[in-house]
Structure 1
Amino acid sequence: MTYIRRDLEEKILSLSKEYAAILITGPRQVGKTTVLRQLKQENRAYVTLDDLEDRSMARNDPALFLQLHDRPILIDEVQYAPQLFSYIKIEIDNGAAPGSFWLSGSQAFRMMNLAQESLAGRVALLHMPSLSQHEIYGSGSTSPFTIELNALKERVKTNAPADMREIYHRIWKGSMPGLISGRFSDRDVFYSSYLQTYIDRDVSDLVNLTDKLIFQDFIRSAACRIGQVLNIHDIAQDVGVSDDTAKRWLQVLEKSDVIFYLRPYSNNLLKRTVKTPKLYFFDTGLVAYLTKYSSPDILANGALSGAILENYVVSELLKTYQNHARECLLWYYRDKEMREIDMIMESDGMLHPLEIKRSVNPGKELIRAFDILNKSSTARGKGGLLCMRPTLSAINSDNYIIPIWMI
């Protein structure tokens, strides 16, 4: 099995020199434990709360648990024993050295809330996504994606070029380390097992399920609607559950980092905008598996090809920020006249409109909607067309044509 270097590694090591505790959250099987074990030195103890005896002690006698293990320590799957946080807080307040505690856990929302309640101001919170296309196919160091010409030119040096067929291969294969590293070779078996483990462990912790197969059908129904404005009623009808149940189940999918939303952009000067978010999955390989596309070529020519490309671009863009512990202000725009902008990035007080297209040679008519932002109270910055063009180009001095492989 090949270890894949993660862009988040530098941030983990630098923050360990400043914070006594670091908490890394993220979906299951994205490599949190692998990265931390790769980075840890020999003197750092390791304990996983997947071990039922250690979990029981951490829950029932957290003080004794911490006494038994030396510092520095890596505690894996810490979500199983939130009782530890109060005792870790005491140690930090008593002068624990920087890097004393490395903590990792799934169920990001729950972990973030617990850490903020017990360790506010004492812990560095990091989120690790699945592998980015730079981590899988690129080289060297990179930075968060921006619409700035010199920064875009730098990405040519660090990211691996890809044509349309290669992009859909990346989308179809997904970004889970177990598959990319070669540890598992059968993609269908991997995703089938992943779903079963996810439902048995994470979902069962968050909601009482009477029928696990219905929940799996529910995830599949959501996957069929990526890139669309969220319609809870339609998803509920697909599987025969109430709208309230569908809403709760979507919250479970969001809390466990399976899905995320892109919120609509609006301000006081843009009053006729749609208010409902759009739905996306963090891993497009899971979407392709759920929607039963058996090969990249079939996916590229199927009904979901445009939506899953959009999902890929949005998730890859967000990963470039998560991998540098940065927040990305990202929205979409749609108004009641059905004028739409796929993404709007806000940076340094500027709005940057972005459009996503399968085309190799997109025309300037695709950026007409960008003018809507001229009515916004926030200044409009440079825009971009993210597409299958093999090289960086421009429509004009204010709008670039950016290959998707450069994200």
Structure 2
Amino acid sequence: MIFPRPQLQQDITHALTRSRVVALIGPRQCGKTTLAREFVPADSMNYFDLEDPISLARLDQPMTALQGLTGLVVIDEIQRRPELFPLLRVLCDRTPLPARFLILGSASPAMLRQSSETLAGRLEIIRMAGFSLAEVGVEMQMRHWQRGGFPLSFLAASDADSLAWRRNFIQTFLERDLPQLGVSISAASMFRFWNMLAHYHGQVWNAAETARNFEVSESTVRRYLDLLEGAFMVRQLRPWFVNLGKRQIKSPKLYFRDTGILHQMLGLREERDLWLHPKSGASWEGYVIEEVIKAVDPDEAYFWATHSGAELDLLLFTGGRRVGVECKRMDAPRLTPSMRSALTDLALDHLIVLYPGERPYPLAERVTVLPLAYLAQGSQALDAALAVHGATWISPP
């Protein structure tokens, strides 16, 4: 099976028309290299793979190798040679500009701080993840949830092959990828911490409790978590709090970015295991949240909760609007006191309730229930469905 990624291709094409350097960042093995080769073939002199000894040898004298190239130049796994960033600034400041650069990285801009500082005003960042539900299609939703979006895990011939790939991915990530980013933590310690985080998936993260269980300081576990977030393995969903006269949660919620990796950590081998596991509901919630963020691409995303029990799974700021999202794995969601509180206290333009059913329906004024399948059609489908019920659209006008 081949799943095209036209939206990402379009985003890269547009970015290259307006920016001198475009960074395509995302976790290892999410398809960045495959996508980049749609723009520049791997055997081109304009393609540099910094895990390839030949490319590394060509870059022994980087100015000599790069300054004569024209058109689009691709540099893959840029985090292996951070000293290239100052050189890229020089090359992309030439007039007229003979070449633009597409750089690929497996670390967040915070972990590649030199890039954002050196290339300020010249760099546009595009974030990439594994396959989205919109890319694989709603008929593949169960497999997508179970195996996650990493292409080689999702496309494996069997569940056993998918599990084997994810097990090897985790081992390689810990033993090779993290050390390449300058992380000195032992692979065994980081695996134990990462495995512990699987049981916090979908919960408010308590650094003090984790530190006690892990027998290290709070600052240490926060650093470990930041490393995993910077490598796109976990998401810390930040809390939104306003002056309401109510005690509100001010710690982040923790989610694995890829449910396939989560299920590997939890020891879930097949679909039946997933349905019966006590973390099944939290896994589904995290899956829906990631797919909403991919589909909508909001300006900002948070969760909201009070100590009295009111909460909102996802608060999106998009196109100047506030849109709430609730994830309900039930046959027919109903309006709850928590939803009413969120509508009023957060001044939501609209509240969307996503569920695994097939029929959209209005639940109350400014509250609409939508099938999860709508995410497979992108934000346009969400817009159209909301418009039917007279709702404010979620995409920018």
Which position in structure 2 is the counterpart of 1:28?
A: 28
Trace 1:32-111 onto structure 2 (pairs within 5 A).
32-40=32-40, 45-52=46-53, 54-55=55-56, 58=59, 61-67=61-67, 71-95=71-95, 97=97, 100-110=100-110
Distance in 2 separating the partners of 1:220 and 1:240: 15
Distance in 2 separating the partners of 1:44 and 1:262: 41
Asked if 1:391 is matched to 2:359, the reply is: yes
Which position in structure 1 is the counterpart of 2:150?
A: 176
Asked if 1:300 is matched to 2:275, the reply is: yes
Asked if 1:353 is matched to 2:324, the reply is: yes
Trace 1:75-224 onto structure 2 (pairs within 5 A).
75-95=75-95, 97=97, 100-110=100-110, 113-137=113-137, 160=138, 167-182=141-156, 186-204=161-179, 205-210=181-186, 212-224=187-199
What is the CA distance between 1:109 and its match in structure 2? 2.8
What is the CA distance between 1:230 and its match in structure 2? 0.5
What is the CA distance between 1:44 and its match in structure 2? 6.8
What is the CA distance between 1:320 and its match in structure 2? 2.0
Trace 1:329-344 onto structure 2 (pairs within 5 A).
329-344=300-315
Q: Assess, with a 3 A threshold, how the Cα gap between structure 1 residues 128 and 99 changes in structure 2: closer, same or farther.
A: farther
Q: Conserved in 2, the CA contact under 8 Å of 1:44 and 1:74?
A: no
How many residues matched?
A: 372
With structure 2 as the length reference, what TM-score do the two structures score?
0.86
Asked if 1:314 is matched to 2:289, the reply is: yes
What is the CA distance between 1:367 and its match in structure 2? 5.5
Distance in 2 separating the partners of 1:184 and 1:97: 48
With structure 1 as the length reference, what TM-score do the two structures score?
0.84
Q: Conserved in 2, the CA contact under 8 Å of 1:178 and 1:184?
A: no
Distance in 1 separating the partners of 2:94 and 2:31: 32
What is the CA distance between 1:388 and its match in structure 2? 1.6
What is the CA distance between 1:242 and its match in structure 2? 3.5
Deviations 1:216-266 (A, max 9, x none): 121111011111001123333444443332221111101111011111111
Q: Assess, with a 3 A threshold, how the Cα gap between structure 1 residues 270 and 350 changes in structure 2: closer, same or farther.
A: farther
SS of 2:200's equivalent in the other structure is coil
Q: Conserved in 2, the CA contact under 8 Å of 1:22 and 1:99?
A: no
Letter of the 1:114 partner, please give it. Answer: Q
Q: Conserved in 2, the CA contact under 8 Å of 1:55 and 1:80?
A: no
Letter of the 1:87 partner, please give it. Answer: L
What is the CA distance between 1:385 and its match in structure 2? 1.3
Percent identical: 26
Asked if 1:370 is matched to 2:370, the reply is: no
What is the CA distance between 1:341 and its match in structure 2? 1.5
Q: Conserved in 2, the CA contact under 8 Å of 1:18 and 1:98?
A: no
Deviations 1:275-328 (A, max 9, x none): 10100111001000110012122212210011001100111111224xxxx543
Distance in 1 separating the partners of 2:266 and 2:250: 27
Distance in 1 separating the partners of 2:164 and 2:12: 32
Q: Assess, with a 3 A threshold, how the Cα gap between structure 1 residues 388 and 50 changes in structure 2: closer, same or farther.
A: same
Distance in 1 separating the partners of 2:37 and 2:73: 11
What is the CA distance between 1:98 and its match in structure 2? 7.6
Highest RCO, 1 vs 2 (Cα 8 Å, sep ≥ 6): 1
Letter of the 2:77 partner, please give it. Answer: E
SS of 1:353's equivalent in the other structure is strand
Deviations 1:19-67 (A, max 9, x none): 2221111110000010010233697721111124543664x64323324
What is the CA distance between 1:96 and its match in structure 2? 5.4
Q: Conserved in 2, the CA contact under 8 Å of 1:17 and 1:98?
A: no
Q: Conserved in 2, the CA contact under 8 Å of 1:168 and 1:297?
A: no
Which position in structure 1 is the counterpart of 2:222?
A: 247
Q: Conserved in 2, the CA contact under 8 Å of 1:21 and 1:99?
A: no
Which position in structure 2 is the counterpart of 1:282?
A: 257
Asked if 1:229 is matched to 2:230, the reply is: no
What is the CA distance between 1:363 and its match in structure 2? 1.6
Asked if 1:380 is matched to 2:351, the reply is: no
What is the CA distance between 1:167 and its match in structure 2? 4.5
Q: Conserved in 1, the CA contact under 8 Å of 2:237 and 2:302?
A: yes
Q: Conserved in 1, the CA contact under 8 Å of 2:58 and 2:65?
A: yes
